Amino acid sequence: MPAITEKIMKIIFWLSGMAIIFFLAGIMFTLLSNSIPAFEEIGLKPFFTDGVWRPSAFAEPTYSLLNMIMGTFMVTAGALAFAVPVGIAAAAYLSEIASPWEREFFKPIVEILAGIPSVVLGFIGLVVLAPLLAAVFNIPSGINALNGAILVGVMALPTIITLAEDAITAVPGEYRHASLALGATRWQTIWKVTIPAAFSGISAAVMLGMGRAIGETMTVLMVTGNMIARPTSYLDSVRTLSANIAVEIGDVVFNSLHFHALFVVGLVLFMITFIVNLMADILIHRKPEVNR
Amino acid sequence: MMMQIVNTLKNENKLHPPLTNNSSEESALTGKDHFEVKVENLQFFYGRKQALFDINIEAQEKGVTALIGPSGCGKTTFLRVLNRMNDLVTDTHLEGRVCIQGRDIYDPATDVVELRKRVGMVFQQPNPFPKSIFDNIAYGPRIHGEKNKNRLSEIVEKSLQGAALWDEVKDRLYDPALSLSGGQQQRLCIARVLAVQPKILLMDEPTSAVDPIATQRIEDLVRELCRDYTIIIVTHNMQQAARISDYTGFFLQGELIEWGETSRIFTRPRDQRTEDYITGRFG
């Protein structure tokens, strides 16, 4: 009898594991098969040549993704420029400086931050951050790349803090003791020994935070303005790849060229996040320098 | 066992005559009023549990003092009192006076960073940083403000020579320190301490994690270094204490049972418990 339950359990767990692979393969297949008609009709090149995204233009539709790739890049880079230093510093604080009591207090707060729905953050971006940015920079509207970058940075923070804290906590205590015994201050020890020793884990944290930032849709859709023109500064409106799909998928004709072109956008987005996550994975599993 | 230790000791004494010229131990201990390390009535507590009871010990400048005793007897705790590494353990406190170079190191005005510069420490497990050999040695001087590349190279070379490692690593200073063998890593850690030019070296069973050949090297090194540094070494290897130290202290259950010249402790211990320990009746 127990042998049978054992077997059934094994199969159930195996199926659960396989389901993940099945979902991923399914998503890949859907994206690819729906993108192919677009490639067949217009080829690969128009997506990556200079121009704008105007697939529904009456005379001459254009399909360039470059401005949107740039928008995605600006929002992501801006978000990381703010979230990486703050996230690493917060992680170092939690694992190296905070008393056990403070740690117990702060860790749930970080988790709550991770749980805030992105639409709520977008709303805050609209009613709080946008007027603030408009006033600070003396511009007519604060609906721009900077607004999106700040909010996406806030969304990437919990990922970066949690994973970087794990990496820093995993640094052997002997390194800290060696450093302190040489007369280093706690600050010097954190900055010159602990964080460099946790480097691969921290990089992975940053990569996963970046994956989060690249794919983020609702918030950026609400606060970046969604202009398809080429942005020239952070105070310009931008449209990201993810927001582009969300904006247009609602009123596109099913199975039209425009429809399939949007799948190409999804495919590009998927490839970018896939590469970022793969890099994170490689960094996490990279063996630290050990006895050779 | 006893005879063996005494023989080792005799041989060693020929090679390394005791550094003090005083023939009688008592005058050696009291003849100088300024000690490098002077501990008076030290009580140490982890929370409410007392770990050290009324320790009184002195060490003169230069030479090796070995601390022996069974595991858990407080010798490592005592060693970590001397550079305030116990500060890192929460909920510890102490009573009594610990003076190093004439200054009470538990005085509120003490600069702990400066203290640890003067009192270097080598740990039981070799603990090089995951950096290159060069960067390991240069770490101390760098954090203390040395930026000049030539000066740093000089310090690295001198420190590695001081730790008898230079010849083995001079062609691969930029290799990861963790690619060295365990014994080399421990000498690297010694070199790293030498690079900040301490006056006192604390060593916590520095040979317990390395092989016999590396142990021999490190023991020779300790004898070399004690010409310039005051060394206090914790060991649970009595033969090692007999081979390399000028003075020996015997700890048991948080008490310093007896201390004095190594030759005297190992030949004419005054306390029955010391005799029982060094003759191998327990421990």
Distance from CA of B32 to the nearest CA of A (A): 29
Helix (H) or strand (E) holding A245: helix A241-248
In a domain, B200, yes or no: yes
- Does any domain span residue B238? yes
Beta carbons of B132 and B174 less than 8 angstroms apart: yes
Is the predicted pLDDT of residue B25 greater than 60, yes or no?
A: no
Residues in chain B closer than 8 A to A174 (CB atoms): 123, 125, 127
Residue B88 φ/ψ, nearest 5 degrees: -75, -20
pLDDT (mean) for A253-259: 93
Residue B44 gets the label, from left (phi > 0), alpha (psi -120 to 50) or beta, of beta
Mean pLDDT, range B172-193, rounded to an integer: 94
CB atoms within 10 A of CB A241: 23
Distance CA B280, CA B8 (A): 16
Distance (Å) from the alpha carbon of A105 to chain B's nearest alpha carbon: 19
pLDDT at A283: 82
User: Does B96 contact A at CB distance below 8 Å?
Assistant: no
The CB density around residue A173, as the number of other CB atoms within 10 Å, is: 10
B82 close to B203: Cβ distance less than 8 angstroms: no
Contacting residues of B for A167, CB less than 8 Å apart: none
Which chain B residues contact residue A184 at CB under 8 A? 113, 139-140, 143
| 224-283 in chain B: CB under 8 A from chain A | none
CB pairs under 8 A between A and B: 73
Determine the average pLDDT of the residues in B156-167. 94
Question: Does B80 reach chain A within 8 Å, measured CB to CB?
Answer: no
* ipTM for this prediction: 0.83
Tell me the average pLDDT across A52-59.
Answer: 89
- Tell me what pLDDT residue B237 has: 87
Per-residue pLDDT reduced to its tens digit, A206-233: 999 998 899 899 999 999 999 999 999 9
**Mean pLDDT of all residues belonging to chain B:** 87
Chain B residues touching residue A172 (CB < 8 angstroms): 127
Of B123, B176, B178, the CB nearest to A177: B123
Assess whether pLDDT exceeds 80 at residue B175.
yes
Per-residue pLDDT tens for A29-54? 999 999 999 999 999 999 999 989 99
Beta strands in A10-126 (DSSP E): 53-54, 62-63
Q: Is residue A166 scored above 90 in pLDDT?
A: yes
> What is the pLDDT at residue B121?
96
Radius of gyration of chain B (CA): 19
Q: What percent of chain A has pLDDT over 90?
A: 87
A218: Cβ contacts below 8 Å, ≥ 6 apart: A118, A119, A122, A246
pLDDT at B125: 92
- How does residue B162 score in pLDDT terms, banded at 50, 70 and 90? very high
3-state secondary structure of A221: helix
Burial grade of B17 (CB within 10 A; 0-12, 13-18, 19 or more): exposed
How do beta strands A62-63 and B37-46 pair?
Answer: unpaired
Q: How far A108 CA sits from the closest chain B CA (Å)?
A: 24
d(CA A60, CA A49): 15
Query: Tell me: the pLDDT tens digits for B224-256?
Result: 999 999 999 999 888 999 999 999 999 999 999
Q: Is B225 a member of any domain?
A: yes
* Largest distance between two CA atoms of chain A: 76
Chain A residues closer than 8 Å to B117 by CB: 182-183
A284 vs A153, more confident: A153
Question: Chain A: residue nearest B128 by CA?
Answer: A175
Q: Pick from B80, B88, B146, B181 the residue to mutate for testing the A interface (most A CBs within 10 Å).
A: B88
Residues of B with CB below 8 A from A179's CB?
129, 139, 143
In angstroms, rounded to a whole number, what is the distance separating the alpha carbons of residues A264 and A36? 8
Which residue in the set A172, A178, A183 is minimally distant from B114, CB to CB? A183
Does the domain at residues A62-285 carry the CATH identifier 2.40.220.10?
A: no
| Residues A181, B130 contacting (CB under 8 angstroms) | no
pLDDT number for residue B9? 46
Q: Do B113 and A288 touch (CB under 8 A)?
A: no
Q: Which of A127-136, A204-213, B185-194 is least confident?
A: A204-213
Under an 8 A CB cutoff, do B143 and A289 touch?
Answer: no
Which chain A residues are Cβ-neighbours of B144 within 8 angstroms?
Answer: 183
Set of chain A residues whose Cβ sits within 8 Å of the Cβ of B105 = none
Contacts of B192 in chain A (CB under 8 A): 178, 182
Does a structural domain hold residue B138? yes
The pLDDT value recorded for residue B11 is 45
Q: Are A183 and B140 within 8 A, CB to CB?
A: yes
B129 to A175: CB separation less than 8 angstroms, yes or no? yes
Domain count of the fold of chain B: 1
Residue B283 covered by a domain: no
Q: Determine how many CB atoms are found less than 10 A away from the CB of residue A287.
A: 6
CB contact (8 A) between residue A175 and residue B127: yes
pLDDT band at A288 (very low <50, low <70, confident <90, very high): low
- Listed by number, the residues of chain B in 172-211 with a beta carbon closer than 8 Å to a beta carbon of chain A are 176, 178-179, 189, 192-193, 196
pLDDT at B35: 80
Domain carrying residue B187:
2-278
Which residue among B115, B127, B142 places its CB closest to the CB of A178?
B127
A291 contacts in chain B (CB < 8 Å): 178-179
- Nearest Cα to B262, choosing from B279, B274, B251, B246? B246
Considering only residues 106 to 135 of chain B, which have any Cβ-Cβ distance to chain A shorter than 8 Å? 113-117, 120-121, 123, 125, 127-131
| Residue A251 contacts residue A264 (beta carbons within 8 Å) | no
> What are A89-107's pLDDT values in tens digits?
999 999 999 998 999 999 9
Alpha carbon distance B153, A155 (integer Å): 46
Contact status of B148 with chain A (Cβ, < 8 Å): no
* Res B191: pLDDT: 96
Q: Give the gap in angstroms from C-alpha B206 to the nearest C-alpha of chain A.
A: 13
Residue B67: pLDDT above 90?
yes
Residue of B nearest to A181 (CA): B116
Assigned domain for B264 exists: yes
pLDDT in tens, A234-252: 999 999 999 999 999 998 9
Judged by a CB distance cut-off of 8 A, whether residue B84 touches chain A is no
CATH code, B32: 3.40.50.300
CB–CB of B177/B131 below 8 Å? yes
Q: What is the pLDDT of residue B15?
A: 42
Beta strands in chain A (DSSP E): 53-54, 62-63
